Structure 1
Amino acid sequence: MAPFSGIKKVTLEEEGANLRPSTRQKLTRFAPALVILLLSVLLLVFILLYALVPKAADQRKLDVCTSKDCISTSAMLDRSVDFTVDPCHDFYSFACGGFFKSHPFTMATIDRGISRFDQNTKTFEGQFFELLYDKNLTKSKDPEIDKLFQAARYFFTTCAAAMRPKSDWASRPELLPKGWNYSSNAITVSSVINRLIKYLDNFTSVEDFMARLVKINSSGFLQLSVNAHARLKMVVKRKRWLPFNSPIVTLPTVNWFGTNNLSLADYIRRMEAAGVQLELNSTVDDLQILESNISALFASFDSDNSAFQGTAAVADDAVIANFSGTSFRWTKFIDNLDGQNPRLNNDSRLVIESFSFLMRLLEQLEPELQSRSGILYDYFRLQAAMLVGNELVTGKQIAPSQHIVSTHQLQIDFATDCAKLTRTLVPAIVYEMFRKTYSDESYTKADEVIANVKQAMLENVRKASWISSTVKKSIEAKIIAISRLHYFPQIPLEEMKKFYGSLNLFEKLQNSKTLADVIWISFEVKYVNKIWFLTTDNPDNAGLVTPHLFDLMDINAFYEFNLNVIYILPGMLFTYVHSNGPYPDYLLYGGLGDTIGHEIGHAFDRDKFEHDFEAHSADPEVTRTLQQYNYRTQCLIDSYNDLIESQAVGFRKGIGNQTASENFSDIVGINAAFRAYKTRESRSGKCGKTPQLLPSRLLSNLTFDQLFFVQSAQFYCFKAGTERIRQLYAADRHSPPRPRYNGLAMHSRDFATVFNCKLGDPMYLSDDRKCSFW
């Protein structure tokens, strides 16, 4: 047999076929790749699902924020949240329940109440104490500025030492004036009233007193400021915000009287002849504004200018301005004014304000005042004369029937009261002390929050389908036109040094021996200081003609309608814009951002909205939008009526009407703040580089979006007895805290989604039941 004869011959085709891998071989060969591919797809799906359904777990992979502000805020929220409460059942109790539990009822909390805001204020005051206690924190290279800082310390330390002679403030001689005498630091009526009597004896009447105050450099109650032409034109002739490019109009209510080579009498007459209604608006806390018949007073003046040559017009006694029942003789005042100062200096303007010290009529007279007869002494009742003294001792306004509080009756909150007094007396100096320790980066951060919330409000308005295009354009224009939001007064240091230097403030305090001395100095400084603020030549301060100026360092913000400006007081800035390292956006926008949104909302609340568009009601689009706005406002009124009735005891039904504007601003404000926060989050790559996770195990169970609302609610945490809450809110424009924030959350666009609230949950409202604006 031939070799290999048993082996089958294989053709080329068959050989190729044998070389091809079988299906099984193919699967075996590609199995690893297929497994990897399949796992990759599954991983991608998992990642997408994980990203689309954010849970608290994803926060644990982020960096923990360990800055000082993160730690303090985390501790505060950790103690405030009550996880035993379902947020979809009662969010206010969820966000503030821990705060309520940690502050059990006492006589003080039942009668006065305690709030998270109080704690924020104490934290702010704690920072102020540090600045007062440690000179190194505010040491300036300028010795004159250092003197002013020391003057502020003297106001605080003399107050503290008088209240607590054994306190640390009193035991450090370097903190007190060099001549301070402990043996006579108690407040007595005679220690201050005698000086007041001597002062008042120089005047023959109230009209003479006020007229002489007007003279340049004669007093701080009424004071002239020079070189203010540009600002005068801006303020007196400022356009009130009107939509649709309305023609320029003069403000019907003018807070300032400006003059150029005119006497006050001439200026009033010219303004009245031009048809401008003048009103002397109060600018200090709880001051009385002139009665409504002020317009009748000015109307009584003869509009013929020729009648005013050399003499004042004679006003009918029946229509003269009435200050709480006491007639003030305007004609005699103008006569005295023209006699004292017939012509004001060139480039001057006159600022007139009504003060509680002058306008307040109180029930009782001290014997020292009663022994003097005449309208002047009737006008200056004891409690008015002692107003500053009472604030120095108690930090609070007391009932007219009470007398000066003696040192043994003082409350334990002396440090808080003395700090408040100091900030009220010399806010410019205190502001400069804070500003020196505050970083420029924080101002930049505040500007960014403001701009983002404004932009978010714009976008929300544009998406509101119920607003006609004509009205929408006007609303958008008004938001854009809101002036740069000022959060501090523009105070030139040189002007500040010159002003306080002219008062010899430091020297007077340095040489004071008793608290009575300090009271008299504060009596002189308090009003003078405030008027100086108002008469500085910086246009940025124009809108500060408000009661807030006296509490410049308060934690507050407000909207000025006439100027279309929002002001954030320094206390708010220093409290809610944190400069001690990183701070997460959900906390920043839940705090400051919510406040900004609320104040922007006030530009469009019920009164402002109607004012802006009532002149154009003939336009069908405007009419339709106004009807929709009113319909939604009534929805809000009805909803809050029910909420307040069910969640706040002792309130009459119908309170939703008086709180409608604040409730509206709450809702559109939180919507804008949340949108701004989410927009920033998406642009910065889910949280940017800032550490976001708070150092709290409990809070890690909440998402950042949920913490946004928890942070926002802290401002409203307030515990008090039922009667106290009723007293505070029965006639207030704000709703009681619990229904206020629960209502805000229920009507907000995002709350239910963020907390996964469902139909049937008390905090859930379907879209058709929400009183939505934008």
Structure 2
Amino acid sequence: MNMDTKMSNQNSDDHTCFYHLKRIIIICLLGFCVGYTFASLILMPKMTKTSRPGIQQSSESVNHKGVCKSPECVTLAHQLHNWRDVSIDPCQDFYEAACGKYNEHTISTGTRLSEKSKIVKNLVKEFLDKNEPSESKSEQVMKWFYGRCEEYNALNETENLENMRMERLKLIKKIGSWPMLDGKWKEEDFDMNDMLSQITRIGGISLGFFNLILVKEVVLIHAPSGITKSVEEVEKVLMELLNLSGSYPDFNITSENQVSVEQLQEQVPILDFPRIIKNLFNQKNKDVIWNKLQGKILGLAQPIFFNETRNLQKILETTPKRTLANYLIANLIMQMSMGNQILDCGMIVMQNLPLASLRVFTRNHFNKFNLDMASQLVEDIKESLKQTIQESTWLQEETKKNALLKLKHMKKTIGYPKELEVPGALDVFFESVDMSNKDTYAAAILEIERFQTEQTFNNLAALLPMVPNVELLDSNAFYYTDENHLKLNVAILDDPFFDITYPTYAKIASIGEVIGHEIGHGFDTDGRKRDEKGEERDWWTPQDSKEYDRRTQCLIDQYNNYDDPDYGRNLNGSVTIDEMAADQIGVELSWKIYNRVDFSLEPSIFGFEDEKPDKLFFHLTALNWCGPRPRLPLSLQQEQVHPTHSFRVNGVFRNMKSFAKAFNCPVGSPMNPEKKCQIF
């Protein structure tokens, strides 16, 4: 989710930029911050005590069991104290009350979420910079690739272009002969399927005559979206491909226009699809992978394949072999172009080797006990939603039954699959990486890209238990609508959001909304249209569906009328409704779990011994959205699927009676409007 990203086909926002701090600097700064924080908190005035009878236990001051003084707790206390602006009435603008001094006490350019992502990637970069040997194959590959990249940056433009030219020539020799450069080229020696197989062996998936794409865990064989025009003879003959295929992005992919690879093979028998595609796989397991994926490799019923009068089969039969060979190699070379800019080598390693990078972080900087605690918290929040649905006064029994079924079958991945904890488990997948005779970045990146393609198919065949995606390193959580699957990244299960030393209530308030938000995406305006399997199905009664739309319209109207401090009343709630609905659900669920805690058995946060638990919940939850003033112009903000940070605090809390009670907000005040919006 960018602490709130709903995933459909694995798209997400990227809020990452990178900086590097040496460990000694980090330690020195931490020592300074801890000392400063202790001093400031000791001098901090105690919070004013007020008493309101008849309110649940958390609204009263409690006698805690000691004080948490771990470095992580002290940092949390520092944020709670220094980021809030005590001059602001929380009933007028709680975001400013909780976060108003953020810019005065941090040099961060983003929220805690984006800053944590930077720190994780900085720690991986620190590992890459260390000149230390490793027995792990995955770590060896990371350092080898990083070294080739750094060498690339040290060379001048001419040297790098020459390396690329030489690598292209090596590839041409590997996949076959290029008639344009080879005066001895013979037509009888040309085997089109052999050349295509050699191209896929080096990881090529854009094959000129057809491309391979991954959509919802299905490999689709589709027509090329364009034709290279670098050679006149190629352009003249193969422009027919473009005319027949049209523009791929305009082709609507549905189950009705998908055909099996066997059906496609019947239409284009000149191409050996199994042989070509198998070469993309790990060669030791290619037959196993093919058997697992055969039902997931589909063709599209496009004119280029199925036109009766002029189709790919006839074009390939009538086009001279010289032209076909020229086209295939020219198409490959066009895809190998590299710029001459200075590279961020640490980021390139993480983008291309995310699982290995994640392993480095978890092995050196992550407490695995957090995984079990987070997993239990997920179950607690799911149970809270179950109770909320059961107690709903407007949902009919049929809708409740379907909602509970979806919740029951919601899958979860906490951090990473346990299979990867086994020593050497990840290294097994790196055995196919060939680092020999690849002493330039041009050679290294081609091998790594081939390996990435191989890993994608390993995951698709359920041999690799995790998608190799750089988003794994982000401080983030995701809900995959078409899988009904909740995923929490490792980085968001670490401080400052989650730490083993935190009191239980601090863990819940800091990350409970994150978890509840992602679970809530299963029931937002899009998620509610999918069942327990993630398949599109309307399981709502007409009456409940109408009432749901009325309730979400309430949130839309609130956002449209929200007087944002940076954008005024110019925001578009229709664009942000899914995120707002998930926010509202998430905080409500987190609040319910929070109030089950026996605070007398928990330590207090240093400096907040007398802070009432109900107030502390809202301050802790708001910390995730404290950040600098937004930089986006209004026109771009109106297109964002996420509400502004200010609304993610004020907009949610103003709909909660518990907030108004905690801060004694009078009815009609900005944070306690008479009309409130609720989902369930």
Report the TM-score when normalising by structure 2.
0.68
Take 2:576 and 2:196, find their aligned partners in 1: how far apart are those partners?
Answer: 41
Identify the range of structure 1 (598-607 vs 210-219) with the bigger mean alpha-carbon deviation: 210-219
Q: 1:496 to 1:467 in 2, by over 3 A?
A: same
> What are the superposed Cα offsets for residues 65-115 of structure 1, whole Å, 9 maximum, x if unpaired?
1223212222233332222222221122222222133468xxxx9xxx633
Q: How many angstroms apart in 1 are the aligned matches of 2:162 and 2:633? A: 39
Structure 2 counterpart of 1:563: 483
**Residue in structure 2 matched with residue 754 of structure 1 by the alignment:** 662
Aligned with 1:433 (options 349, 357, 360): 360
Equivalent residue for 1:467? Answer: 395
Return closer, same or farther for 1:659/1:502 CA change in 2, 3 Å cut-off: same
Partner of 2:650: 742
On the 8 A contact 1:576/1:588 being kept in 2, the answer is: no
Secondary structure, counterpart of 1:88 in structure 2: coil
Shift of the 457–609 alpha-carbon distance from structure 1 to 2, 3 Å rule, reads same
**Among candidates 485, 502, 507, match of residue 432 of structure 2:** 502
The letter of the residue matching 2:341 is V
1:284-331: CA deviations, max 9, x gaps?
A: xxxxx9525244897497x999xx59642xxxxxxxxxxxxxxxxxx5
Work out the CA distance in 1 between the residues paired with 2:635 and 2:162.
36
1:600 Cα deviation from its structure 2 partner: 0.6
Closer, same or farther in 2 for the Cα pair 1:214/1:428, shift >3 Å?
Answer: farther
Displacement of 1:54 in angstroms is 6.2
Determine whether 1:537 maps to 2:463: yes
Are the counterparts in 1 of residues 120 and 361 from structure 2 also a CA contact under 8 Å? Answer: no
Contact 1:69 1:583 in 2 (8 A): yes
Task: Tell me the alpha carbon deviations over residues 687-724 of structure 1, each in whole angstroms, 9 at most, x when there is no partner.
Answer: 52x42x2234xx556433333322322332332455x2
- For 1:337, which of 273, 292, 295 is the aligned residue? 273
8 Å contact kept, 1:56–1:700 = no
Partner AA of 1:192 in structure 2: M
Shift of 1:58: 4.1
Structure 1 residue aligned with 2:47: none
Q: What amino acid does structure 2 have at the position aligned with 1:590?
A: A
Please tell me whether residue 483 in structure 1 is matched to residue 483 in structure 2: no
Give the whole-Å Cα distance in 2 for the aligned partners of 1:93 and 1:186: 54
From 122, 147, 167, give the equivalent of 1:195: 167
Is the partner of 1:125 in helix, strand or coil? helix
Cα distance 1:633–1:452, how it changes in 2: closer, same or farther (>3 A)?
A: same
Q: Secondary structure at the match of 1:763?
A: coil
User: What is the count of residue pairs matched by the alignment?
Assistant: 547
SS, match of residue 271 in structure 2: helix
Determine the structure 2 residue equivalent to 1:218.
Answer: 201
Question: Does structure 1 residue 448 correspond to structure 2 residue 376?
Answer: yes
8 Å CA contact 1:222, 1:353 repeated in 2:
no
The residue number in structure 2 matching 1:554 is 474
Alpha-carbon offset, residue 406 of structure 1: 3.9
Distance 1:586 1:521, change over 3 A: same
1:716 aligns with 2:625: yes
Aligned equivalent of 2:677: 771
Counterpart code for 2:386: L
Cα shift at 1:336: 5.0
Select the residue among 547, 572, 575 that pairs with 1:658.
575
Q: 2: distance between equivalents of 1:443 and 1:678?
A: 22
Q: Which residue identity is paired with 2:504? A: D
Aligned partner of 2:241 in structure 1 is none
Structure 1 SS opposite 2:358:
helix
Kept after mapping to 2: 8 A contact 1:162/1:185: no
**What TM-score do you get using the length of structure 1 for normalisation?**
0.60
8 Å Cα contact 1:752-1:758 kept in structure 2: yes
Q: 1:672 to 1:642 in 2, by over 3 A?
A: same
Q: How far does the alpha carbon of each residue in 1:190-240 deviate from its partner, in whole angstroms, 9 at most, with x for none?
A: 4336524653684789xx9999677898244569xxxxxxxxxxxxxxxxx
Which letter maps to 1:423? M
Q: Answer yes or no: is 1:704 the counterpart of 2:613.
A: yes
CA contact 2:477–2:514 (8 Å) conserved in 1? yes
User: Is the Cα–Cα contact under 8 Å of residues 220 and 531 in structure 1 kept in the other structure?
Assistant: no
User: Cα gap change, 1:90/1:441 in structure 2, threshold over 3 Å: closer, same or farther?
Assistant: same
- Counterpart of 1:668? 585
Sort the Cα spacing of 1:79 and 1:529 in 2 relative to 1 into closer, same or farther, 3 A.
farther
Cα drift, residue 456 of structure 1:
1.1
Give secondary structure in 2 for the equivalent of 1:446: helix
Distance in 1 of aligned mates of 2:642 and 2:651: 12
Deviation at 1:647, TM superposition (A): 3.8
Partner of 2:606: 695
The residue identity in structure 1 corresponding to 2:409 is A
Given candidates 112, 115, 121, the residue that maps to 1:116 is: 112
Corresponding position: 1:151 with 2:78: no
Measured in 2, the distance between the counterparts of 1:659 and 1:748 equals 20
Query: Larger C-alpha radius of gyration, 1 or 2?
Result: 1
- Are 2:249 and 1:291 equivalent residues in the alignment? yes
* Matched residue type, 1:694: I
Structure 2: gaps spanning 5 or more residues? 1-49, 180-190, 207-214, 223-246, 280-285, 300-324
CA distance in 2, matches of 1:338, 1:157: 36
CA distance in 2, matches of 1:212, 1:718: 54
Q: Is 1:404 aligned to 2:366, yes or no?
A: no
Task: Give the aligned CA root-mean-square deviation in angstroms.
Answer: 4.6
Measure how far apart 1:455 and its partner are: 1.0
How far is 1:603 from its partner?
0.6
Paired letter, 1:686: F
Between the aligned partners of 1:212 and 1:298, the Cα distance in structure 2 is 32
SS for the counterpart of 2:201 is coil
**In structure 2, what residue type is equivalent to 1:72?**
T
Match for residue 35 of structure 2?
none
Q: 1:606 touches 1:661 (CA, 8 Å); kept in 2?
A: yes
Structure-to-structure mapping, 1:156-167, within 5 angstroms:
156=146
Higher relative contact order (CA 8 A, sep 6+): 2
1:731 and 2:639 matched: yes
| Aligned amino acid, residue 465 of structure 1 | T
Alpha-carbon separation, structure 2, partners of 1:623 and 1:406: 58
Instruction: Specify whether residues 747 and 309 from structure 1 end up closer, same or farther in structure 2 by C-alpha distance, changes over 3 A only.
Output: closer
Q: Percent identity?
A: 21
Residues 638 and 53 (structure 1), Cα distance of their counterparts in 2 relative to 1, 3 Å cut: same
1: CA distance, partners of 2:622 / 2:431: 45
Provide, for residues 654-680 of structure 1, a one-character-per-residue CA deviation record: whole Å limited to 9, x for no partner. x1011111100000111001111212x
Deviation at 1:575, TM superposition (A): 4.9
- Please say if residues 73 and 501 of structure 2, whose CA atoms lie closer than 8 Å, have aligned partners that are also in contact: yes
Q: Which residue of 1 aligns with 2:28?
A: none
Consecutive unaligned residues of structure 1, counting only runs of 5 or more, are: 1-45, 164-181, 224-252, 259-263, 266-288, 313-330, 355-371, 387-402, 408-416
Which deviations, in whole Å up to 9, do the C-alpha atoms of 1:232-266 show, x marking residues without a partner?
xxxxxxxxxxxxxxxxxxxxx852259xxxxx89x
1:255 aligns with 2:205: no
Aligned letter for 1:585?
T
